[in-house]
Amino acid sequence: MYDVVLAGGTVLDGTGAPGVVADVAVEDGRIAFVGRVPRTRARRRLDVTGAVVCPGFVDLHSHADFTVFGAPGALTQVAQGVTTLVTGNCGFSPFPVVSGHEDELRAHAGFLDADLPWDWSGAGEYAAAVERLPLGVNLALQVGHGAVRVGAMGVADRAPTPAELDRMRALVSAAVDDGVVGLSSGLIYAPASYARAEEMAAVAEPVAAAGRLYSTHIRDEGDRLDDAVEEALEVGRRTGVRVQVSHLKAVGPANWGRVGRVLETLAQARRDGVDAHGDQYPYTASSTTLTARLPGWAMDGGVAALRERLERAEDRDRLVADLTARTGTTFLPERIVLSDTPDGPYRAHLGSDLATIARAVGRTPAETAVDLLRRQRGVASIISHGMAEDDVRTILADPAVAVASDGWILDCTGAGTPHPRSFGTFARVLGHYVRDGVLDLPTAVAKMTSLPAARLGWRDRGVVRPGAVADLAVFDPDEVADPSSYDAPWQLARGVSYTLVAGTPVWENGAATGAAAGRVVGGRR
């Protein structure tokens, strides 16, 4: 007797192969059989005739490690068929927590921190805390270089001493021993932005030795995009680490159309022996913190030092001058929307762009940005409408690019106007981009399943075959859609009828079941 049988669906096995009509039988959390299963062999039989059955989606780029304590059921994810979230991206992770640097670490991740308990030190203790939650999805943890740098040397704008570099490597090695699947960097965010390629290569060596992934939010996604990609590849050349360029894009109208050259650079690197791939969310807007738009000197010393500078008129004037000089090139106020910020005078402007806010408050956009950060204590999340739709399609069509959300919203109720990618990334690809002909359905599924699983070295996830973990999604290819939008983001995806984690339904016929089937899954040895 099988525990569950998904009967009569069209099975897309995740490899990109055409679909076949078959039953999928699950026993003890794994796929036991794919074929025709008699009714008498199923303890529970789910008739999914006319629907697609495929592996559960693996999101290579999530920040759910900061929000999972508030929404462990991960409603926005299971509604899309997502079964595994890879966290610790862009250099941000909630560990290691090093004595003497706790406040700096919390400030470093302030725009992501959703009231975490912070009662752990390393990756192992964090994982144990997460596994005590009623998880609706699996989490695979990465350690963030930014967090490691803070733990080893604080937030200073300088190169590490040899002892500090050794400390960073030791912190990364400890995280690897605790089972993290990789190391990430966020080279636009202070203090990681103060690191050079030599530092990144040294810190990545323990990850390379363990066969884990190096995921990087590269240093520049706009005017210096090519140089930033080369910097990421140099880390791969020096160490042999597998390189994952996060959320590939070209930001700013002056840079639109350059993504083809970037994709060819990555392809040439692979031909030269560097294991370099990328991932992408299928939207023309990004989301980050407003402080990421500031010059490096402003963030020297972290958010606490920024707050002090914002109280000095000469520093405010200097910041205004910098932003004014870049207005129309790399600072585009009409494309920057305030999506969330703590209580304060600017919270009334959530959902408005900086140009509109500036007119409302009677200041220039540059003055408005600086005043906003001052009055909101340096914490402001933004959505930047900076990419071209043609570039999104070009990147999505590349066979070495996986689909990933860069999201962190796990519940479907909240304040602000967050990016819709948390709610609809995978449904958007299956619906909009498949039905519009950018990808065929088997290829789209492979980009969400076997491709990201392979990047993590997993052989028993991301595929439908006997022996694989029974993380599965069932959806209607004609109905799957992403109603979430920039103006009205708080909407669940449509068209997924079942999501199973280790054979247990966590999403069933339009509702979460509440089953706590998820766990923390580790990296390969």
Q: What is the pLDDT of residues 478-519, one digit of tens each?
A: 999 999 999 999 999 999 999 999 999 999 999 999 999 999
Instruction: Let me know if residue 514 belongs to a domain.
Output: no
305 in the same domain as 157: no
Instruction: Let me know if residue 476 belongs to a domain.
Output: no
Nearest Cα to 61, choosing from 246, 192, 278? 246
254 in the same domain as 115: yes
Instruction: Let me know if residue 306 belongs to a domain.
Output: yes
Q: What is the spatial distance between Cα 153 and Cα 57, in angstroms, rounded to a whole number?
A: 37
305 in the same domain as 278: no
CATH number for the domain that contains residue 143: 3.20.20.140
Q: How many residues does the chain have?
A: 525
DSSP per-residue string spanning 333-363? GGGEEEEE--SSTTGGGTT-BHHHHHHHHTS
- With beta carbons less than 8 A apart as the criterion, state whether 121 and 466 touch: no
Sequence letter at residue 257? G
78 in the same domain as 14: no
Residue that has been written with the tokens 């819709």 in this structure: 420
Instruction: Let me know if residue 211 belongs to a domain.
Output: yes
106 in the same domain as 216: yes
348 in the same domain as 201: no
372 in the same domain as 425: no
The predicted structure's pLDDT at residue 524: 53
Expressed as residue numbers, the domain containing 352 is: 289-384
Q: Which residues pair with 265 in a beta bridge?
A: none
DSSP per-residue string spanning 403-416? E---B---SS--SS
Instruction: Let me know if residue 394 belongs to a domain.
Output: yes
397 in the same domain as 279: yes
- With beta carbons less than 8 A apart as the criterion, state whether 117 and 126 touch: no
149 in the same domain as 229: yes
Q: What is the pLDDT of residues 129-157, one digit of tens each?
A: 999 999 999 999 999 999 999 999 999 99
**3-class DSSP state for residue 215?**
strand
Of 440, 457, 474, the residue at which a domain comes to its end is 457
Residues of the chain whose pLDDT is less than 50? 525
Q: What is the spatial distance between Cα 408 and Cα 419, in angstroms, rounded to a whole number?
A: 10
| Contact residues for 291 (Cβ-Cβ < 8 A; gap 6+) | 190, 298, 299, 303, 306, 373, 378, 380
203 in the same domain as 141: yes
**3-class DSSP state for residue 300?**
coil
Instruction: Let me know if residue 510 belongs to a domain.
Output: no
Count structural domains, the chain. Answer: 3
435 in the same domain as 297: no
Distances (CA, A) of 78 to 74, 214, 349, 410, 420: 6, 26, 31, 9, 15
Instruction: Let me know if residue 230 belongs to a domain.
Output: yes
Instruction: Let me know if residue 154 belongs to a domain.
Output: yes
**3-class DSSP state for residue 148?**
helix
Q: What is the spatial distance between Cα 246 and Cα 522, in angstroms, rounded to a whole number?
A: 20
140 in the same domain as 220: yes
